[in-house]
Structure 1
Amino acid sequence: VPSRVPPPLHEEWPEAEKAEKLARGAALKWASGVFYRPEKLEGLGHYRRRETQRNNSIQSRLKSTVQSYLEGVGAGLEQLQSAAQEVQGVCQDLGAARWALLDSADHFQGLQQMRKLMEEHVQLASVVQVLPQIFSVHEVFSHIMQLLHGQHLLEAHVELMMLEQLRDDILSQLHLRGLSGAQATVLSYFSGLQDLNESLAKQLWDIVGSSLRLVREDPVLFVTAVRIIEREEKIDDTLLLEATFLPPGRPKGWRQKFFQGPGLAKHLAVLQKDLVSELRVVKDLMVQCVPAHYNILSVCTATYHQALSSHLQEILREDLDKQGLFLLLEWALRVYHSPEMMGHPDLLPEVDVSVLDPLMSSELVDQTEKRYVMKVKASVFEWMQRTLEVEFKEWFREEEPETDHQGFFQSALPAIVMQMLNENIQVASLITDSLQQKIYNMALEELEAFLGRSVEPLTPLSTLPDPGAMAKHHRLGVEICCGAPSAHPGHRRLSSLSGTDTALCSLQPLCLQLPSRKWLSGSQLVGNMCEVIDKYAKDFSHVRKPVFTLLLAESELLVANQYLRALLQRKMVCKSREERGQLCHRLLQDATQLRELFCSLSLEAVFALRELICLKDPALLSLEVLGFITKYPDVSDEHISTLLDIRGDVSKEVRHVVLEMMAQHPQVLPEGYRPIFSTILVPVPELPFCLRRGKCA
């Protein structure tokens, strides 16, 4: 077989031929420059030897470089071969481990059963340990009551704390296991704790009320009361910061009650008693001792009245707490005119303070009420913040949320919050209607802020792919709104929006495909949208029906808004009658499919928009548009212009008539109308470019 002749270098490397020509040209140029005279030829041998040495040096370096490169390639190949062998060994080991795990699956099932048995055993063991304490509860009740009667407050409080700890441990275990029905039985069994707490609290406040006397005569009892109050405050702080379950009656807030002005209350009570007593003496005795024209009873009444007014103003200059402000308002506006004081039967009818100036001017009453509202607001904020922290700690556990017997998520937080707000409103109603209204407005503001704070920690969760998790984490704001019968409707709106923000994130990528030629020719776009909404609707079924209906309505409005937004902002101009008919058919199919999903009327806007596009005679557009803007008064000229552009067959004259008709029939949004077009911004058409003294292009 003849040996293969290697191809010429320039066939394998086309650039070599060009390089060789350039090198030869450069060499000839150099030689002609060096040997242009005959005497220069004598040095030809010298130049030849020098170039030969240079070529040898270059070839030597090339060989050295190539050899080094080949050695590196060889080492790399060896490493790759070694790595391939190791990978093969690892694959074999993983396969063996997989089979070993599959063989051990049955053993794992057995271990799972053992774990359940162990948990049950631990629970039963803990129950057995506390049974003696449970059986002795009522005996301890009697002993605590005896200690309280003997004013052995520290000993009584120690045993009371032990019983509360026992009750709270049992309730916490039931709460963690979702056995809410059994909690009522436990609370009934420990119902005596409420009476003991009230009896202890009554003694404490009697001691605090006599603190000025006790600290002078015998401070031991007063110090005992303070120690008990400090114990309860530490228990409150621990439960609010660490516990996942807030026991009934907590927080007690006894330290705050300690500072709620018992001295002021006693001072006002003394004023009430002394004033009635002195005026009774004036009426019954002094009047008979002076001439009638002295009018002594009226003069004394006016003098006392003015002195009391000045005295109340002096008290108000102090930094009173909310309880002190409440007591002062109650005394000046209710007690002063009541039958217990200036309306006392022994003073009537001769004493009549209604003819005098008010004890507190209307301006001073308004200022004091505002101060009281600010104090209550600060207290409400602090209480809500602590309560929310406890709720979130419980809610972000790995376990499923607590549910009722119907399978709905439930939380005691809404009822607790609304009860606290309603109590403050009811307390304010005892003074004046204006104070009640101020507290009511404050309660609404704090409730709205509370809803905002409850949603903030959930904001990072809006990107979660699992809508079930969102249904779980959004239940706080939803349930609080539903538990507020007197709340503003906007609060429900806030809650529903927080529940549908994740659905918006899922729908936006789908709406990017609308409109398009692919969508026009037929696609599963709306079908995919329906699947997304249906999935969220199933996950939100864990909330009760009124809120579920609200969320579904918000989702429906969201779908209609996103659909119309995509259609108007990325408008598609129909090029022919056939394409316009195809667009009308697609709109009809989409709207029908979406309406079947929601079974409501918010999607009628798509049907009405379709009628504008499907109208065969453009000359009738002005009448059709008039009906459209009457039904949807928030639609603008830009929206109608965009719809006319989508038709693709509307002349300038018809467009002018339509827009002129809209200008002649301005619309007013009726009460309760839910805007749908006003939130959709469409591109503003470019103005024609005009030259001075010329016509517009």
Structure 2
Amino acid sequence: MVPGTGRQLTLPVGGRRRFPGGLLRGCLSSSPALSVGSHVPSAEPCCRPCRAAGRQLLWGPDYWISPLRAVHELLAQSLRLLHGQQLLEAHAGLMALERLREEITSQLHSSGSLPSDQALGVVESFFAGLQELSDALAQQLWRIVGGGVRLVREDPALFVSAVRIIEREESVDDALLLGPHANRFPAPGRPKAWRQRFYQVMQETIAAAHFKAAHVDVKGPGLGRHLATLQSNILVELRVVKDLMVQCCPPHYNILSICTHMYHQGLSDYLQDILSRDLDKQEIFMLLSWVLHVYQSPEMMGHPDLLPEVDVSTLGPLVSPEVVEQMERKYVGKVKASVTEWMRRTLEVELKEWFREEEPEMDHLGFFQSALPIIVMQMLDENIRVASLVTDSLQQKVYAMAMDELEAFLISLREALGECGKEHQKDRSTPKHYISYLLALLNNNMALSSSISTLHPGSASLAKPAEIPSSLQTALDRAQKKACRLLLEELLLDLQPLYVQLPSRKWLSGAQLVNSMCEVIDKYMRDFSHVRNPVFKFLLAESEHLVMNHYMRALMEKKMVCRSAEERIQLSTRLLQDASQLRELFHNLGLAESEQTLEVIFALQELIRLQDPALLSLEVLGFMKKYPDISDEHISILLDLRGDVSKEVRNVVLEMMAQNPQSLPENYQPIFSNILVPAPELPFCLRKGKCA
């Protein structure tokens, strides 16, 4: 039984023992010492007795059986040495046996005739345990190589012995494959290519030690801990390779460079596998940040203890730019889903606040506001800043996403305003502080608008604030206009009961109607004062325009007709007094007379006050030049209001208008084009007949 192999060696019986076992032992002991890198020509006999033995083997079984019986003893001895971790001695025995086998086989092939199958079979049977010895030695070597990082610190001699044996085997491979007797006859088990296997074992060990974590170990917080462990362990092991293992290997092994490449490639493949999984945004962020920043930083591959020998920049990117781009897009998609949901909930909470019994909070200047702008901006700013910790391109992607989400939020806000406005029209008592919350929304909208530029990457270094994307600016403007329109609708609803009394003879008799209008307007302007400029100024101007527009509309819709010159004077005076009182009110509220549109009422009262109808064409021409958007229908109704315009004068006026068409000046604010006049009543017509 060959120790450690489980194989029973059966030796032939008979023949003379011409070469005792001690001769082979002497052959082994007399062989020159082998060192790493030495050339061992296995095709030549190791000593004179072996060469003599080879010659005697040619004479037949009776001459070569005896020396071969010593193989059993040498195999057993080599196995004992191997089990005692005397690797160099065990390997010397292995090489002696291989030389003996090769010498005998060589002599058989050199006899001048082809060796018989029986002779070759006998040799093969005697050396059957040789392959098992070689395999057992190889297994021992690969265990040593697999634990190389630990051994070079604890027992470098064992690792050095393994490397020396691998080098001996490489020399034998080279001699058999490249020497003068190369391919003379096949050598069993050659080439062994143990150096190639050495690198392969190291790579497998690295992969098994670091890159075989279960999926459950690299999820959530476990991923961060796993990456930190990888960072620490790889750095420690590369330090050992650089400081110790390099001294245990021949220079041509280039062991530090090859190990660095093994760690780099193994880590690259491992990360590719992790990145292909369904990761959440936090996991993607950790991986991208680790790959792009930690890996090459002084805390890992750029550590001073590894430089300058280790230079991972020569190995290419750990993760390809295409994969980085793909992961950035995935990250943005995950962040977008989170932001969308967060914005939806924020809007829901904001709208619920509208139905509280209390008014919205005020700042120190008395402007209504809520925490909405701060909450939204902080959330978007945080995501953009976090992305900047990975790459500039990811920051730009998240910034673009943030702008899109803010635009979508404003659109949703505007739609919610519309629904809230409809519900309020049904019951104006709810929400209780409807106007106050609309004003708070307008202040919030301005706060958002002024803060958006700070979200732009690199905004701190820009000479002037970054421009807001046009589509987002449109969304801001539309949300503002929607809230302003709802506020003006509230004003109009309270003014409408007064407008229905205009014009009337009761209205002509006193100033009570315009006094009531001024009270309503003043009340709303006090409310509107809780909104910041320029929105307050906009609301003030729009309120003035609304008052004028509906005042004129009421005059033309009722078709009141003056019955005498005295009544025309009374109407003209009433118009003048109303316009003067309204103009003074808006002036006191902060709207300059040059910015008001009430001037049209002053012009109208002059048209009504004119005593000679024959001069109406000239008066109307002057009126047209001031208000070029007035139409024939408008003029006809205003002429009807006088009550003294004949058909001939009317025709002259209308003909004059047709001959003097007016074009609208640039930046002209429409007056009459926004006032729809009633359609004229059609004359009675018989069926299939002509109208009279």
The TM-score with structure 2 as length reference comes to 0.46
Tell which structure's C-alpha radius of gyration is larger. 2
TM-score of the pair, normalised by structure 1: 0.45
